[in-house]
């Protein structure tokens, strides 16, 4: 876990270094093109390392499923006790 944040900070540092280097280069030179290509590769690596976000639709499905499970458990808890209680009442008569 800590290793990933260290890698990300190294990546950020390298992007900052390349950005400052490209600012000193003149557009159209080979050095500018090389640094620009390197900077594009760094940004692609950063996109690849970024964690995927969970969509709102997925969260809604999970919440709906958990709500349904909770309702079933609550129903079974209440109605199982009621049905047993009614069975004892009939035997007492």
Is-above-0.75 flag for pTM?
A: no
Q: What is the pLDDT of residues 8-55, one digit of tens each?
A: 578 888 889 988 888 888 888 889 899 889 999 988 888 776 566 788
Lowest-confidence pick of 38-42, 56-60, 86-90: 86-90
Give whole-number Cα distances, 14 to 1, 10, 40, 69, 93, in Å. Answer: 20, 6, 12, 49, 85
Which residue's structure tokens are 């047993």? 84
User: CB of 28 within 8 A of CB of 14?
Assistant: no
């Amino acid at each position: 876990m800590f290793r990933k944040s260290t890698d990300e900070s190294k990546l950020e540092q390298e992007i900052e270094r390349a950005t400052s280097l490209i600012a000193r280069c003149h557009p159209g030179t080979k050095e500018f093109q090389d640094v620009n290509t390197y900077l594009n590769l760094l940004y692609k690596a950063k996109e690849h390392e970024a964690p995927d976000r969970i969509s709102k639709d997925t969260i809604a499905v999970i919440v709906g499923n958990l709500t349904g499970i909770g309702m079933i458990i609550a129903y079974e808890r209440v109605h199982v006790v009621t049905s047993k209680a009614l069975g004892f009442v009939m035997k007492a008569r």
